[in-house]
A and B are shown apart, each in its own frame.
Chain A
Amino acid sequence: MQASADTLAFLRDVRVFESFSDPDLAVVVERLRERDLRRRQVLFREGDGGDEMFIVRRGTMLISKAVTGKVEQVLVRVEPFDFFGEMSLFDGSPRSATAQAETDVELLVLGRDSLQAMTETAPHAAAAFFYAMVQVFMERLRRSTQQVAEATRWGLEATGLDVEAR
Protein backbone atom coordinates (compact mmCIF):
# COMPACT_ATOMS: atom_id res chain seq x y z
CA MET A 1 0.00 0.00 0.00
CA GLN A 2 2.84 2.31 1.01
CA ALA A 3 4.66 1.37 -2.21
CA SER A 4 1.62 2.41 -4.27
CA ALA A 5 1.37 5.70 -2.40
CA ASP A 6 5.05 6.39 -3.09
CA THR A 7 4.62 5.55 -6.77
CA LEU A 8 1.55 7.79 -6.92
CA ALA A 9 3.51 10.68 -5.40
CA PHE A 10 6.37 10.05 -7.81
CA LEU A 11 4.12 9.97 -10.90
CA ARG A 12 2.69 13.41 -10.07
CA ASP A 13 6.10 14.83 -11.03
CA VAL A 14 6.40 12.81 -14.26
CA ARG A 15 5.63 15.08 -17.17
CA VAL A 16 3.20 12.82 -19.06
CA PHE A 17 1.11 12.30 -15.93
CA GLU A 18 1.13 15.92 -14.74
CA SER A 19 -2.47 16.64 -15.64
CA PHE A 20 -3.85 13.36 -14.31
CA SER A 21 -6.37 13.41 -11.49
CA ASP A 22 -5.63 11.21 -8.47
CA PRO A 23 -8.18 8.51 -9.49
CA ASP A 24 -6.67 8.40 -13.00
CA LEU A 25 -3.17 8.16 -11.58
CA ALA A 26 -4.32 5.34 -9.34
CA VAL A 27 -5.42 3.45 -12.47
CA VAL A 28 -1.96 3.96 -13.97
CA VAL A 29 -0.19 2.86 -10.80
CA GLU A 30 -2.11 -0.40 -10.85
CA ARG A 31 -0.87 -1.10 -14.34
CA LEU A 32 2.78 -0.25 -13.83
CA ARG A 33 5.41 -2.87 -13.09
CA GLU A 34 8.66 -2.21 -11.26
CA ARG A 35 12.00 -3.33 -12.59
CA ASP A 36 15.49 -2.93 -11.12
CA LEU A 37 18.72 -2.89 -13.12
CA ARG A 38 22.20 -3.19 -11.74
CA ARG A 39 24.90 -0.77 -12.93
CA ARG A 40 25.88 -1.38 -16.60
CA GLN A 41 23.04 -3.89 -17.18
CA VAL A 42 21.63 -3.70 -20.69
CA LEU A 43 17.84 -3.29 -20.73
CA PHE A 44 17.47 -3.68 -24.47
CA ARG A 45 19.65 -3.42 -27.54
CA GLU A 46 19.13 -1.60 -30.81
CA GLY A 47 17.06 -3.87 -33.09
CA ASP A 48 15.39 -5.82 -30.26
CA GLY A 49 11.62 -6.10 -30.33
CA GLY A 50 9.67 -4.23 -27.67
CA ASP A 51 6.27 -2.99 -26.60
CA GLU A 52 7.02 -1.22 -23.33
CA MET A 53 8.07 2.21 -22.20
CA PHE A 54 10.10 2.90 -19.10
CA ILE A 55 10.03 5.67 -16.51
CA VAL A 56 13.23 6.19 -14.53
CA ARG A 57 12.48 6.32 -10.83
CA ARG A 58 16.06 6.28 -9.57
CA GLY A 59 19.49 6.28 -11.25
CA THR A 60 20.51 7.13 -14.81
CA MET A 61 19.99 5.29 -18.10
CA LEU A 62 22.19 5.77 -21.16
CA ILE A 63 20.55 5.67 -24.57
CA SER A 64 23.07 5.06 -27.33
CA LYS A 65 23.09 4.29 -31.04
CA ALA A 66 25.68 2.18 -32.88
CA VAL A 67 28.11 4.23 -34.96
CA THR A 68 30.85 1.81 -35.96
CA GLY A 69 32.23 -1.45 -34.58
CA LYS A 70 32.07 -1.29 -30.81
CA VAL A 71 31.55 2.45 -30.75
CA GLU A 72 28.14 3.97 -30.04
CA GLN A 73 27.08 7.57 -29.78
CA VAL A 74 25.43 8.53 -26.53
CA LEU A 75 22.15 10.16 -27.57
CA VAL A 76 20.81 11.05 -24.18
CA ARG A 77 21.01 10.33 -20.46
CA VAL A 78 17.63 9.61 -18.95
CA GLU A 79 17.33 10.90 -15.38
CA PRO A 80 14.62 10.32 -12.75
CA PHE A 81 11.10 11.51 -13.74
CA ASP A 82 11.95 11.15 -17.43
CA PHE A 83 11.02 8.22 -19.67
CA PHE A 84 12.24 6.34 -22.76
CA GLY A 85 11.29 3.45 -25.05
CA GLU A 86 7.94 4.97 -25.98
CA MET A 87 8.47 4.64 -29.76
CA SER A 88 8.15 0.86 -29.68
CA LEU A 89 5.17 1.20 -27.35
CA PHE A 90 3.23 2.98 -30.10
CA ASP A 91 4.36 1.44 -33.36
CA GLY A 92 5.81 -1.90 -32.26
CA SER A 93 8.94 -1.26 -34.32
CA PRO A 94 12.31 -2.66 -33.23
CA ARG A 95 14.21 -0.62 -30.66
CA SER A 96 15.99 2.25 -32.41
CA ALA A 97 18.74 2.52 -29.79
CA THR A 98 20.32 0.61 -26.93
CA ALA A 99 19.35 1.32 -23.32
CA GLN A 100 21.85 0.51 -20.59
CA ALA A 101 22.03 1.42 -16.92
CA GLU A 102 24.81 3.89 -16.11
CA THR A 103 24.16 3.46 -12.37
CA ASP A 104 21.92 1.14 -10.37
CA VAL A 105 18.46 1.96 -11.68
CA GLU A 106 14.84 1.55 -10.63
CA LEU A 107 12.33 1.67 -13.47
CA LEU A 108 8.57 1.70 -13.80
CA VAL A 109 7.37 -0.24 -16.84
CA LEU A 110 4.24 0.54 -18.84
CA GLY A 111 3.28 -2.10 -21.42
CA ARG A 112 1.16 -1.69 -24.54
CA ASP A 113 -1.59 -3.85 -23.04
CA SER A 114 -1.74 -1.62 -19.99
CA LEU A 115 -1.92 1.48 -22.16
CA GLN A 116 -4.72 -0.12 -24.17
CA ALA A 117 -6.61 -0.98 -21.01
CA MET A 118 -6.14 2.54 -19.67
CA THR A 119 -7.56 3.97 -22.90
CA GLU A 120 -10.70 1.90 -22.42
CA THR A 121 -11.21 2.35 -18.68
CA ALA A 122 -9.99 5.95 -18.28
CA PRO A 123 -10.30 7.69 -21.67
CA HIS A 124 -9.90 11.14 -20.11
CA ALA A 125 -6.59 10.12 -18.55
CA ALA A 126 -5.48 8.47 -21.78
CA ALA A 127 -6.22 11.65 -23.75
CA ALA A 128 -4.13 13.69 -21.29
CA PHE A 129 -1.38 11.13 -21.57
CA PHE A 130 -1.32 11.23 -25.39
CA TYR A 131 -1.45 15.05 -25.45
CA ALA A 132 1.53 15.26 -23.08
CA MET A 133 3.31 12.61 -25.13
CA VAL A 134 2.91 14.64 -28.36
CA GLN A 135 4.48 17.64 -26.62
CA VAL A 136 7.40 15.50 -25.50
CA PHE A 137 7.82 14.12 -29.04
CA MET A 138 8.01 17.65 -30.43
CA GLU A 139 10.65 18.59 -27.88
CA ARG A 140 12.67 15.51 -28.72
CA LEU A 141 12.38 16.21 -32.43
CA ARG A 142 13.79 19.69 -31.84
CA ARG A 143 16.60 18.18 -29.77
CA SER A 144 17.40 15.67 -32.55
CA THR A 145 17.56 18.50 -35.09
CA GLN A 146 19.93 20.32 -32.76
CA GLN A 147 22.05 17.16 -32.41
CA VAL A 148 22.34 16.82 -36.19
CA ALA A 149 23.51 20.44 -36.42
CA GLU A 150 25.99 19.87 -33.61
CA ALA A 151 27.35 16.71 -35.27
CA THR A 152 27.79 18.66 -38.51
CA ARG A 153 29.61 21.41 -36.62
CA TRP A 154 31.84 18.74 -35.05
CA GLY A 155 32.73 17.40 -38.49
CA LEU A 156 33.50 20.84 -39.88
CA GLU A 157 35.64 21.78 -36.90
CA ALA A 158 37.48 18.45 -36.86
CA THR A 159 38.42 18.68 -40.52
CA GLY A 160 39.04 22.42 -40.53
CA LEU A 161 36.98 22.46 -43.72
CA ASP A 162 36.50 26.00 -44.96
CA VAL A 163 33.01 25.83 -46.48
CA GLU A 164 32.82 29.59 -46.86
CA ALA A 165 35.46 29.38 -49.56
CA ARG A 166 34.23 29.79 -53.07
Chain B
Amino acid sequence: MPRPAPAKVELLVRRDAEEDFELRQVASVIGYLNSRPRRIDPDSYEISELRSRVALAPGFILKNKTTDRFLLLSAQERFLWDQMDGATSLQEIATAYVLQYGEFDFEIIPSLLRKLQRAQLLTFEPRSRLRAVLARNRGRMIVKAIELALTGLERIRISTHNVQSFFQALYRFGGFLLFTPVAAIACGALAVVGAGAALMLFRDVHDMLEGFGGHALRGILTVKLVFFASVALHQFVHGLACIHFRRRVREFGFTFLHGFVPTFYIDVTDIFMASRRARVITAVTGALVHAVLGAVAFIVAAEAQAGSFTQAFAAASGIIQWQALVVALYPFCFIEMDGYHVLVDVLGVPTLKSDAIAYVKGLLTGGGRAGRGSEELLWIAYVVLSTLSVAAFIAFNAWIIFSATH
Protein backbone atom coordinates (compact mmCIF):
# COMPACT_ATOMS: atom_id res chain seq x y z
CA MET B 1 0.00 0.00 0.00
CA PRO B 2 1.58 3.36 -1.02
CA ARG B 3 2.43 5.70 1.82
CA PRO B 4 0.00 8.66 1.92
CA ALA B 5 1.32 12.16 1.23
CA PRO B 6 2.18 14.17 4.38
CA ALA B 7 -0.94 15.70 5.95
CA LYS B 8 -1.38 19.43 5.54
CA VAL B 9 -3.43 22.04 7.34
CA GLU B 10 -4.35 25.33 5.75
CA LEU B 11 -4.10 28.25 8.16
CA LEU B 12 -5.34 31.80 7.83
CA VAL B 13 -3.06 34.16 9.74
CA ARG B 14 -4.59 37.56 10.41
CA ARG B 15 -2.53 40.73 10.10
CA ASP B 16 -2.90 43.95 12.06
CA ALA B 17 -5.21 45.46 9.46
CA GLU B 18 -8.79 44.44 10.17
CA GLU B 19 -9.40 42.25 7.11
CA ASP B 20 -5.89 41.50 5.93
CA PHE B 21 -4.61 37.95 6.17
CA GLU B 22 -2.12 35.49 4.79
CA LEU B 23 -2.86 31.88 3.90
CA ARG B 24 -0.29 29.26 4.79
CA GLN B 25 -0.28 25.57 4.07
CA VAL B 26 1.67 23.79 6.77
CA ALA B 27 2.73 20.25 6.04
CA SER B 28 3.20 17.90 8.97
CA VAL B 29 6.78 17.43 7.83
CA ILE B 30 7.53 21.06 8.76
CA GLY B 31 6.29 20.41 12.30
CA TYR B 32 8.39 17.24 12.38
CA LEU B 33 11.59 19.00 11.29
CA ASN B 34 11.06 21.66 13.95
CA SER B 35 10.37 19.22 16.78
CA ARG B 36 13.07 18.94 19.43
CA PRO B 37 13.45 15.45 20.85
CA ARG B 38 14.91 15.28 24.35
CA ARG B 39 16.62 12.41 26.07
CA ILE B 40 15.07 11.38 29.36
CA ASP B 41 16.73 12.58 32.54
CA PRO B 42 20.46 11.57 32.69
CA ASP B 43 19.80 9.69 35.93
CA SER B 44 17.28 7.49 34.15
CA TYR B 45 19.55 5.92 31.56
CA GLU B 46 23.00 4.39 31.19
CA ILE B 47 25.10 4.01 28.09
CA SER B 48 28.15 1.84 27.65
CA GLU B 49 30.41 1.01 24.75
CA LEU B 50 30.44 -2.46 23.26
CA ARG B 51 33.69 -3.32 21.50
CA SER B 52 33.74 -6.17 19.07
CA ARG B 53 36.76 -8.07 17.74
CA VAL B 54 34.93 -8.57 14.46
CA ALA B 55 33.19 -5.30 13.76
CA LEU B 56 35.46 -2.31 13.26
CA ALA B 57 33.02 0.30 14.54
CA PRO B 58 31.99 0.14 18.19
CA GLY B 59 28.39 -0.38 19.24
CA PHE B 60 26.67 1.05 22.30
CA ILE B 61 24.22 -0.39 24.79
CA LEU B 62 21.64 2.07 26.02
CA LYS B 63 19.64 1.09 29.09
CA ASN B 64 16.48 2.66 30.47
CA LYS B 65 17.08 2.24 34.22
CA THR B 66 13.40 2.73 35.02
CA THR B 67 11.97 0.12 32.66
CA ASP B 68 15.08 -2.08 32.35
CA ARG B 69 14.80 -1.99 28.56
CA PHE B 70 17.99 -2.18 26.50
CA LEU B 71 18.77 -0.86 23.04
CA LEU B 72 21.73 -1.50 20.81
CA LEU B 73 22.92 1.65 19.07
CA SER B 74 25.41 2.03 16.25
CA ALA B 75 28.06 4.77 16.43
CA GLN B 76 25.89 6.92 14.14
CA GLU B 77 22.84 6.39 16.34
CA ARG B 78 24.91 7.20 19.42
CA PHE B 79 25.92 10.44 17.73
CA LEU B 80 22.26 11.29 17.08
CA TRP B 81 21.32 10.33 20.64
CA ASP B 82 23.88 12.83 21.94
CA GLN B 83 22.23 15.61 19.89
CA MET B 84 18.78 14.99 21.36
CA ASP B 85 19.01 17.58 24.11
CA GLY B 86 15.55 19.13 23.73
CA ALA B 87 17.04 22.32 22.28
CA THR B 88 18.18 21.00 18.92
CA SER B 89 15.59 20.54 16.20
CA LEU B 90 15.52 17.47 13.98
CA GLN B 91 16.59 19.67 11.08
CA GLU B 92 19.66 20.81 13.05
CA ILE B 93 20.38 17.23 14.11
CA ALA B 94 20.29 16.12 10.48
CA THR B 95 22.68 18.97 9.59
CA ALA B 96 25.07 17.93 12.36
CA TYR B 97 24.91 14.36 11.04
CA VAL B 98 25.87 15.50 7.54
CA LEU B 99 28.77 17.52 8.94
CA GLN B 100 29.96 14.57 10.99
CA TYR B 101 29.62 11.78 8.44
CA GLY B 102 29.59 13.65 5.13
CA GLU B 103 26.43 11.85 4.01
CA PHE B 104 22.84 11.43 5.06
CA ASP B 105 20.74 8.36 5.60
CA PHE B 106 17.10 9.45 5.35
CA GLU B 107 15.77 6.54 7.40
CA ILE B 108 18.18 6.61 10.33
CA ILE B 109 16.54 9.44 12.31
CA PRO B 110 12.88 8.31 12.10
CA SER B 111 13.92 4.74 12.77
CA LEU B 112 15.99 5.74 15.83
CA LEU B 113 13.15 7.94 17.12
CA ARG B 114 10.78 4.99 16.90
CA LYS B 115 13.22 2.75 18.79
CA LEU B 116 13.82 5.36 21.50
CA GLN B 117 10.12 6.05 21.96
CA ARG B 118 9.37 2.36 22.29
CA ALA B 119 12.02 2.11 24.98
CA GLN B 120 10.61 5.26 26.64
CA LEU B 121 13.94 6.99 26.34
CA LEU B 122 12.66 10.12 24.66
CA THR B 123 10.34 13.02 25.25
CA PHE B 124 9.52 16.01 23.08
CA GLU B 125 10.02 19.41 24.67
CA PRO B 126 9.57 22.21 22.18
CA ARG B 127 10.25 25.16 24.47
CA SER B 128 13.45 26.91 25.47
CA ARG B 129 14.98 26.64 28.94
CA LEU B 130 13.69 30.11 29.77
CA ARG B 131 10.18 28.96 28.86
CA ALA B 132 10.57 25.84 30.98
CA VAL B 133 11.58 27.96 33.99
CA LEU B 134 8.65 30.29 33.42
CA ALA B 135 6.27 27.32 33.13
CA ARG B 136 7.48 25.98 36.49
CA ASN B 137 6.72 29.33 38.17
CA ARG B 138 3.45 30.02 36.42
CA GLY B 139 1.65 30.50 39.71
CA ARG B 140 3.19 33.95 40.14
CA MET B 141 1.30 36.73 38.40
CA ILE B 142 4.38 38.49 37.01
CA VAL B 143 5.78 35.24 35.58
CA LYS B 144 2.45 34.47 33.94
CA ALA B 145 2.41 37.96 32.39
CA ILE B 146 5.96 37.50 31.01
CA GLU B 147 5.03 34.10 29.66
CA LEU B 148 1.96 35.52 27.92
CA ALA B 149 4.00 38.38 26.45
CA LEU B 150 6.67 35.97 25.17
CA THR B 151 4.03 33.70 23.69
CA GLY B 152 2.52 36.69 21.90
CA LEU B 153 5.89 37.81 20.53
CA GLU B 154 6.84 34.27 19.51
CA ARG B 155 3.79 34.16 17.30
CA ILE B 156 5.05 37.13 15.32
CA ARG B 157 6.73 35.59 12.33
CA ILE B 158 6.79 37.27 8.98
CA SER B 159 8.34 35.08 6.36
CA THR B 160 8.17 34.01 2.78
CA HIS B 161 9.16 30.73 1.18
CA ASN B 162 9.09 32.06 -2.38
CA VAL B 163 12.46 33.78 -2.19
CA GLN B 164 14.58 31.74 -4.58
CA SER B 165 13.56 33.76 -7.65
CA PHE B 166 14.00 37.03 -5.73
CA PHE B 167 17.56 36.18 -4.67
CA GLN B 168 18.37 34.86 -8.15
CA ALA B 169 17.26 38.20 -9.62
CA LEU B 170 19.22 40.10 -6.97
CA TYR B 171 22.30 38.05 -7.82
CA ARG B 172 21.84 38.54 -11.56
CA PHE B 173 21.38 42.31 -11.26
CA GLY B 174 24.57 43.06 -9.35
CA GLY B 175 24.77 40.66 -6.42
CA PHE B 176 27.35 38.54 -8.28
CA LEU B 177 29.81 41.45 -8.01
CA LEU B 178 30.19 40.71 -4.28
CA PHE B 179 31.87 37.41 -5.13
CA THR B 180 34.64 38.74 -7.34
CA PRO B 181 38.33 39.30 -6.44
CA VAL B 182 37.81 43.05 -6.91
CA ALA B 183 35.10 43.05 -4.21
CA ALA B 184 37.34 41.10 -1.84
CA ILE B 185 40.23 43.54 -2.36
CA ALA B 186 37.91 46.55 -1.99
CA CYS B 187 36.50 45.08 1.23
CA GLY B 188 40.00 44.54 2.64
CA ALA B 189 41.14 48.04 1.65
CA LEU B 190 38.03 49.61 3.14
CA ALA B 191 38.58 47.69 6.37
CA VAL B 192 42.19 48.93 6.60
CA VAL B 193 41.18 52.57 5.99
CA GLY B 194 38.28 52.17 8.42
CA ALA B 195 40.59 50.74 11.08
CA GLY B 196 42.93 53.71 10.58
CA ALA B 197 40.01 56.11 11.02
CA ALA B 198 38.86 54.20 14.09
CA LEU B 199 42.32 54.43 15.70
CA MET B 200 42.42 58.15 15.02
CA LEU B 201 38.98 58.62 16.57
CA PHE B 202 39.78 56.41 19.53
CA ARG B 203 42.06 59.10 21.01
CA ASP B 204 39.12 61.51 21.39
CA VAL B 205 36.34 59.08 22.17
CA HIS B 206 34.98 61.23 25.00
CA ASP B 207 34.77 64.45 22.93
CA MET B 208 33.33 62.49 20.05
CA LEU B 209 30.45 60.93 21.99
CA GLU B 210 29.58 64.34 23.42
CA GLY B 211 28.03 64.95 20.00
CA PHE B 212 24.94 63.17 21.28
CA GLY B 213 24.36 66.39 23.21
CA GLY B 214 23.60 64.88 26.59
CA HIS B 215 21.19 62.34 25.09
CA ALA B 216 23.65 59.49 24.95
CA LEU B 217 21.13 56.77 25.71
CA ARG B 218 18.70 57.95 23.03
CA GLY B 219 21.59 58.23 20.59
CA ILE B 220 22.80 54.72 21.29
CA LEU B 221 19.27 53.31 20.92
CA THR B 222 18.99 55.00 17.50
CA VAL B 223 22.31 53.49 16.50
CA LYS B 224 21.05 50.07 17.58
CA LEU B 225 17.95 50.55 15.42
CA VAL B 226 20.08 51.34 12.37
CA PHE B 227 22.19 48.31 13.23
CA PHE B 228 19.08 46.17 13.23
CA ALA B 229 18.53 47.07 9.57
CA SER B 230 22.07 45.92 8.80
CA VAL B 231 21.20 42.50 10.22
CA ALA B 232 18.69 42.12 7.37
CA LEU B 233 21.47 43.03 4.92
CA HIS B 234 23.72 40.43 6.57
CA GLN B 235 21.07 37.76 5.88
CA PHE B 236 20.63 39.00 2.31
CA VAL B 237 24.32 38.43 1.61
CA HIS B 238 24.08 34.88 3.03
CA GLY B 239 21.27 34.35 0.51
CA LEU B 240 23.32 35.76 -2.38
CA ALA B 241 26.25 33.51 -1.45
CA CYS B 242 23.90 30.53 -1.48
CA ILE B 243 22.77 31.48 -5.00
CA HIS B 244 26.42 32.00 -6.02
CA PHE B 245 27.06 28.34 -5.22
CA ARG B 246 23.91 27.34 -7.12
CA ARG B 247 22.00 26.19 -4.05
CA ARG B 248 18.47 27.07 -2.98
CA VAL B 249 17.36 29.81 -0.55
CA ARG B 250 14.38 28.29 1.18
CA GLU B 251 13.00 31.03 3.39
CA PHE B 252 13.57 34.61 4.51
CA GLY B 253 11.77 36.26 7.38
CA PHE B 254 11.58 38.11 10.67
CA THR B 255 10.74 36.71 14.06
CA PHE B 256 11.31 37.10 17.79
CA LEU B 257 13.82 34.47 18.85
CA HIS B 258 12.73 32.90 22.16
CA GLY B 259 10.00 35.56 22.24
CA PHE B 260 12.25 38.55 22.92
CA VAL B 261 15.17 38.79 20.49
CA PRO B 262 13.99 40.50 17.28
CA THR B 263 15.88 39.03 14.36
CA PHE B 264 15.89 38.50 10.63
CA TYR B 265 16.69 35.02 9.43
CA ILE B 266 17.36 33.16 6.22
CA ASP B 267 17.23 29.45 5.54
CA VAL B 268 20.30 28.51 3.49
CA THR B 269 20.58 24.93 4.76
CA ASP B 270 20.75 23.79 1.14
CA ILE B 271 24.38 25.00 1.19
CA PHE B 272 25.19 21.83 3.16
CA MET B 273 24.85 20.01 -0.14
CA ALA B 274 27.74 22.09 -1.50
CA SER B 275 31.46 21.93 -0.70
CA ARG B 276 33.03 22.93 2.63
CA ARG B 277 34.59 25.96 0.89
CA ALA B 278 31.10 27.06 -0.21
CA ARG B 279 29.77 26.68 3.35
CA VAL B 280 32.63 28.72 4.80
CA ILE B 281 32.29 31.49 2.21
CA THR B 282 28.52 31.63 2.71
CA ALA B 283 29.00 31.98 6.47
CA VAL B 284 31.76 34.58 6.28
CA THR B 285 30.41 36.88 3.56
CA GLY B 286 27.25 37.67 5.54
CA ALA B 287 29.34 38.89 8.46
CA LEU B 288 31.54 41.00 6.17
CA VAL B 289 28.56 43.32 5.69
CA HIS B 290 29.34 44.62 9.19
CA ALA B 291 33.03 45.07 8.31
CA VAL B 292 32.13 47.25 5.32
CA LEU B 293 29.41 49.26 7.07
CA GLY B 294 31.62 49.75 10.15
CA ALA B 295 34.56 50.94 8.03
CA VAL B 296 32.34 53.39 6.13
CA ALA B 297 30.93 54.66 9.43
CA PHE B 298 34.40 55.23 10.90
CA ILE B 299 35.55 57.05 7.77
CA VAL B 300 32.46 59.27 7.90
CA ALA B 301 33.10 59.94 11.60
CA ALA B 302 36.73 60.85 10.95
CA GLU B 303 35.70 63.31 8.24
CA ALA B 304 32.79 64.81 10.22
CA GLN B 305 33.05 67.94 12.35
CA ALA B 306 34.54 67.12 15.75
CA GLY B 307 31.91 66.89 18.47
CA SER B 308 28.99 66.97 15.99
CA PHE B 309 26.00 64.61 16.13
CA THR B 310 27.04 63.14 12.75
CA GLN B 311 30.45 62.22 14.14
CA ALA B 312 28.99 60.70 17.31
CA PHE B 313 26.33 58.78 15.38
CA ALA B 314 28.78 57.47 12.76
CA ALA B 315 31.39 56.51 15.35
CA ALA B 316 28.87 54.68 17.52
CA SER B 317 27.52 52.92 14.41
CA GLY B 318 31.06 51.93 13.47
CA ILE B 319 31.69 50.48 16.91
CA ILE B 320 28.48 48.46 16.93
CA GLN B 321 29.01 47.21 13.37
CA TRP B 322 32.50 46.00 14.14
CA GLN B 323 31.31 44.48 17.38
CA ALA B 324 28.75 42.59 15.31
CA LEU B 325 31.53 41.48 12.97
CA VAL B 326 33.54 40.13 15.88
CA VAL B 327 30.52 38.43 17.49
CA ALA B 328 29.53 36.89 14.13
CA LEU B 329 32.98 35.62 13.22
CA TYR B 330 34.56 34.99 16.61
CA PRO B 331 33.65 31.40 17.49
CA PHE B 332 34.38 31.49 21.21
CA CYS B 333 31.40 33.22 22.78
CA PHE B 334 28.87 30.45 23.58
CA ILE B 335 26.76 31.66 20.65
CA GLU B 336 26.44 29.57 17.52
CA MET B 337 27.04 32.32 14.98
CA ASP B 338 28.76 32.21 11.59
CA GLY B 339 32.30 31.88 12.99
CA TYR B 340 31.27 28.99 15.23
CA HIS B 341 29.75 27.14 12.28
CA VAL B 342 32.94 27.68 10.27
CA LEU B 343 35.07 26.40 13.17
CA VAL B 344 33.03 23.23 13.78
CA ASP B 345 32.86 22.60 10.04
CA VAL B 346 36.63 22.90 9.64
CA LEU B 347 37.38 20.86 12.77
CA GLY B 348 34.65 18.32 12.02
CA VAL B 349 33.17 18.62 15.54
CA PRO B 350 29.56 19.76 15.03
CA THR B 351 28.66 19.37 18.71
CA LEU B 352 31.61 21.31 20.12
CA LYS B 353 29.59 23.72 22.28
CA SER B 354 27.30 21.19 23.94
CA ASP B 355 30.14 18.67 24.42
CA ALA B 356 32.45 21.32 25.88
CA ILE B 357 29.81 22.65 28.29
CA ALA B 358 28.85 19.14 29.39
CA TYR B 359 32.52 18.20 29.91
CA VAL B 360 33.40 21.29 31.98
CA LYS B 361 30.16 20.99 33.94
CA GLY B 362 31.17 17.41 34.68
CA LEU B 363 34.64 18.50 35.77
CA LEU B 364 33.13 21.03 38.19
CA THR B 365 30.58 18.60 39.62
CA GLY B 366 32.88 15.60 39.60
CA GLY B 367 30.90 13.56 37.08
CA GLY B 368 32.70 14.43 33.87
CA ARG B 369 32.64 12.30 30.77
CA ALA B 370 35.92 11.07 29.35
CA GLY B 371 37.26 12.06 25.98
CA ARG B 372 40.44 11.75 24.02
CA GLY B 373 43.29 14.06 25.16
CA SER B 374 43.00 16.40 22.18
CA GLU B 375 39.21 16.46 22.51
CA GLU B 376 39.37 17.38 26.19
CA LEU B 377 41.87 20.12 25.44
CA LEU B 378 39.56 21.54 22.76
CA TRP B 379 36.56 21.44 25.14
CA ILE B 380 38.45 23.22 27.93
CA ALA B 381 39.89 25.78 25.50
CA TYR B 382 36.42 26.46 24.12
CA VAL B 383 34.85 27.09 27.53
CA VAL B 384 37.78 29.15 28.88
CA LEU B 385 38.10 31.30 25.76
CA SER B 386 34.33 31.80 25.54
CA THR B 387 34.05 32.80 29.21
CA LEU B 388 36.92 35.30 28.92
CA SER B 389 35.54 36.67 25.65
CA VAL B 390 32.04 37.22 27.03
CA ALA B 391 33.53 38.98 30.09
CA ALA B 392 35.67 41.19 27.85
CA PHE B 393 32.68 41.99 25.63
CA ILE B 394 30.57 43.06 28.61
CA ALA B 395 33.46 45.13 30.04
CA PHE B 396 34.02 46.87 26.70
CA ASN B 397 30.35 47.83 26.37
CA ALA B 398 30.22 49.02 29.96
CA TRP B 399 33.26 51.18 29.27
CA ILE B 400 31.63 52.64 26.11
CA ILE B 401 28.45 53.52 28.02
CA PHE B 402 30.47 54.92 30.92
CA SER B 403 32.53 57.06 28.52
CA ALA B 404 29.40 58.32 26.82
CA THR B 405 27.62 59.29 30.02
CA HIS B 406 30.48 60.77 32.04
Residue positions of A touching B, CB distance < 8 A: 40-42, 62, 64, 67-74, 100, 150-151, 153-162, 165-166
The answer for the CA separation of A149 and B360 in the assembled complex, in Å, is: 48
- Residue contact A157 to B23, C-beta cutoff 8 Å: no
The answer for the CA separation of A126 and B143 in the assembled complex, in Å, is: 59
Is B12 in contact with chain A by the CB < 8 A criterion? yes
List 10 contacting pairs A-B, 8 Å CB cutoff, sorted by A: A73-B12, A100-B12, A150-B7, A153-B28, A154-B8, A155-B28, A157-B6, A158-B29, A158-B31, A160-B113
Interface string of B1-29 (1 = CB under 8 A from A): 00010111111111100111101000011
The answer for the CA separation of A150 and B35 in the assembled complex, in Å, is: 19
Say yes or no: A70-B31 contact (C-beta < 8 A), given A154-B9, A165-B117: no
* A-contacting residues, B81-139, CB 8 Å: 90, 110, 113-114, 117-118, 124
- Residue contact B35 to A74, C-beta cutoff 8 Å: no
- Residue contact B118 to A72, C-beta cutoff 8 Å: no
The answer for the CA separation of A20 and B387 in the assembled complex, in Å, is: 81
Shortest distance between the CB of A56 and any CB in chain B (Å)? 18
- Residue contact B117 to A100, C-beta cutoff 8 Å: no
Chain B residue numbers with a CB within 8 Å of A70 are 13-15, 155
- Residue contact B117 to A162, C-beta cutoff 8 Å: yes
Say yes or no: A40-B11 contact (C-beta < 8 A), given A69-B155, A159-B31, A160-B35: no
Is B32 in contact with chain A by the CB < 8 A criterion? yes
The answer for the CA separation of A71 and B114 in the assembled complex, in Å, is: 31
Beyond A42-B18, A72-B12, A72-B14, list 6 extra A-B contacts (CB 8 Å).
Answer: A64-B12, A74-B12, A153-B4, A157-B31, A160-B37, A160-B90
- Residue contact B13 to A71, C-beta cutoff 8 Å: yes
- Residue contact B29 to A74, C-beta cutoff 8 Å: no
Chain A residue numbers with a CB within 8 Å of B110 are 160
Chain B residue numbers with a CB within 8 Å of A165 are 114, 117-118
- Residue contact B7 to A159, C-beta cutoff 8 Å: no
Count of chain A to chain B residue pairs whose CB atoms are closer than 8 Å in the complex: 83
Chain B residue numbers with a CB within 8 Å of A40 are 19-21
Is B58 in contact with chain A by the CB < 8 A criterion? no
Is B152 in contact with chain A by the CB < 8 A criterion? yes
Q: Is the interface of A mostly helix, strand, loop or mixed?
A: mixed
Chain B residue numbers with a CB within 8 Å of A153 are 4, 7, 28
Q: Is the interface of B mostly helix, strand, loop or mixed?
A: mixed
Chain B residue numbers with a CB within 8 Å of A41 are 19
Shortest distance between the CB of A12 and any CB in chain B (Å)? 32
The answer for the CA separation of A74 and B26 in the assembled complex, in Å, is: 12
Chain A residue numbers with a CB within 8 Å of B37 are 160
Shortest distance between the CB of A102 and any CB in chain B (Å)? 8
Chain A residue numbers with a CB within 8 Å of B90 are 160
Chain A residue numbers with a CB within 8 Å of B29 are 157-158
The answer for the CA separation of A161 and B37 in the assembled complex, in Å, is: 11
- Residue contact B31 to A73, C-beta cutoff 8 Å: no
In-complex Cβ contact of B9 among A42, A100, A151 (8 A): A151
Chain B residue numbers with a CB within 8 Å of A158 are 28-32, 35
Chain A residue numbers with a CB within 8 Å of B23 are 62, 74
CB-CB nearest in chain A for B114 = A162
Shortest distance between the CB of A16 and any CB in chain B (Å)? 26
The answer for the CA separation of A159 and B118 in the assembled complex, in Å, is: 14
Chain B residue numbers with a CB within 8 Å of A67 are 11
The answer for the CA separation of A70 and B37 in the assembled complex, in Å, is: 28
Top 10 nearest A-B pairs (CB, nearest first) are: A158-B31, A157-B28, A154-B7, A165-B118, A70-B14, A74-B10, A72-B12, A158-B28, A153-B7, A162-B117
CB-CB nearest in chain A for B9 = A154
